[in-house]
Structure 1
Amino acid sequence: MRVAVVQLAAEIDSRGNREAVVRQLSTLGADDDLDLVVLPEATMHDFGSTDHDLSAVAEPLDGPFVAMLATEAVRLGATVVAGMFERVDGALPFNTLVVVGPDGALRTSYRKIHLYDSFGYKESERLLPGEVEPVVVDVDGRRVGLMTCYDLRFPELARALVDAGAETLVVPAAWVAGDHKLDHWRTLLRARAIENTVHVVAAAQGGERYTGHSLVVDPWGSIVVEADSDDRIIRADVLADEVARARDVNPSLANRRLARQGRTPSS
């Protein structure tokens, strides 16, 4: 599976963000033979200040942001994953990942489960949490599990995705910069890869507010490719046989003795 990871810094201008995405993706084409393109959390519209009304800017799943992604997915012949704020009538919006297939159809969506009520911030005051249900989607014959930003700090979600068949975890994020934050970002991404023997593909917002450092990690926990803080696209080949080799040498999933979700160790 050939992957492109797009790092960008979104603004509180939805139209401008759509134009920026198209401009950045214009450097890619069908001849790149991509299977998966991953953009950050909140690509549609940045979080803005804490008093910025996300309900007023949220869009439906058939709105202009997803329509733009569909056009780009068809042009590239690839599946595209990106973050948006999903409109909910009469309520706060969801922090949602959308997955658009190479035919331009919306394949699935994932509403962020763990809202960022941490480091002095309260995402739950502005957004609704999604249902506690892991979302896995097929991309080029591979099972891909979806997580968003703060979800990364909850290893049980990654394990639930792997139990649902995921061999790759995709993590769009707007990982806020600060003391220890970049170290946490890298360490947690590598940990999720090592403990689950999976690839991890992480697309982060860059710029001054966020850490940047989008990266791809292999099932051994090694960083294959990593961005800095600027807008850029990084690429990697995510190979199924790498997962198989890692799980053959390190069969930690098979050696588990604690219960899987909904099962006892003896069942």
Structure 2
Amino acid sequence: MRIALAQISSTRDVAQNIELLRENVATAAQHDADLVVFPEASMLSFEGPLPDETAAHQGEWEKAVKDAAQQHGIAIAAGGFKTAGERVYNQLLLAYPDGSEKIYNKMHLFDAYGFEESENVAPGDELVLAEVAGTKLGLTVCYDVRFPKLYAEYSRAGAQVMLVIASWGEGSGKVDQWRALTTARALDSNSYVVAVGQAHPLTVGSDPDESPAPLGIGRSRVIDPFGRELVELGESPDLRLVELDLELVEEAHQKLPVLENAKLGY
């Protein structure tokens, strides 16, 4: 399976974010990717209130993602938002070339490090298993990566690749945590982890002014089922193609059967 990691830095300008998406999708399609993965909050950055902007632009965003998938014949996974009463859902939208879609609403909300995501975001309540190019995918968003049981459940349901789209918050030790968590989730689920984050805003000339909002650190990475790093990007916007050898998933299940050996429901 060939996956493109589209590490971008989104802003509060939805039209500009849509152009970033279109440009990266076109390039990924030219390189015969089966799937291009964008970060959490690709529709609209966390730097500001979400509900009003979401209500104004959610239809425009969803149409743009679906149109790009159909135009270029490629599956697209991208982070956006959708109105949920007075709050919004933080969504991973997976759009297919045939016009169909899968939607995962982020279950674990980032109420940590001085940021209260739950003030504006409502939690999802179910796992969503998807398939691209015959490969089963577990869909997750950012803070979900701190909860290993979620990934174990996806693996038991047949997922071979875990998508983690993120807008990871900067701070002391946060890069180390990102690396450790994404590696651990691959090891304890016998699966690939494809983790795509927002680029660091400073690399595109934006000064977040010490905002507590999680705006990105870059460092998108792919980890194989044995915990080996296949790629890690830097802090700047980038597009990288990665080939996944899916035979390694079955090999990991056989050689390191952590889910079969697990106790206490894990």
Q: Same fold (TM over 0.5)?
A: yes
Superposed displacement of residue 32, structure 1: 2.1
Matches within 5 A, 1:1-267: 1-29=1-29, 31-48=30-47, 52-59=48-55, 63-88=59-84, 90-105=85-100, 107-131=101-125, 133-207=126-200, 208=202, 209-259=215-265
- Paired with 2:57 and 2:244, the residues of 1 have a C-alpha distance of 28
**Which residue does 2:211 correspond to in 1?**
none
Larger helix proportion, structure 1 or 2?
Answer: 2
Distance 1:249 1:60, change over 3 A: farther
Counterpart contact for 2:58–2:81, Cα < 8 Å: no
Counterpart contact for 1:34–1:76, Cα < 8 Å: no
Counterpart contact for 1:28–1:76, Cα < 8 Å: no
- Name the aligned partner's letter for residue 170 of structure 1: L
- Paired with 1:242 and 1:191, the residues of 2 have a C-alpha distance of 16
Larger strand proportion, structure 1 or 2?
Answer: 2
- Paired with 1:97 and 1:148, the residues of 2 have a C-alpha distance of 7
Alignment deviations for residues 3-52 of structure 1 (CA, whole Å, 9 cap, x no partner): 001001100111111112212333233x422211110000000011xxx3
- Paired with 1:37 and 1:225, the residues of 2 have a C-alpha distance of 15
Distance 1:60 1:53, change over 3 A: closer
Count of aligned positions: 253
User: TM-score of the superposition, structure 1-length normalised?
Assistant: 0.90
Counterpart contact for 1:81–1:99, Cα < 8 Å: yes
Superposed displacement of residue 157, structure 1: 1.1
User: TM-score of the superposition, structure 2-length normalised?
Assistant: 0.90
Alignment deviations for residues 146-205 of structure 1 (CA, whole Å, 9 cap, x no partner): 110011111111112112221110000000111000000011000000111100001100
- Paired with 2:164 and 2:223, the residues of 1 have a C-alpha distance of 11
Superposed displacement of residue 136, structure 1: 0.7
- Paired with 1:5 and 1:81, the residues of 2 have a C-alpha distance of 10
Which shows bigger deviation, 16-25 or 133-142? 16-25
Where structure 2 has 5 or more consecutive residues not aligned to the other structure, the ranges are 203-214
SS in 1 for 2:28: coil
Counterpart contact for 1:34–1:77, Cα < 8 Å: no
CA RMSD of superposed structures (Å): 1.7
Superposed displacement of residue 74, structure 1: 2.0
Superposed displacement of residue 257, structure 1: 3.4
Where structure 1 has 5 or more consecutive residues not aligned to the other structure, the ranges are 261-267
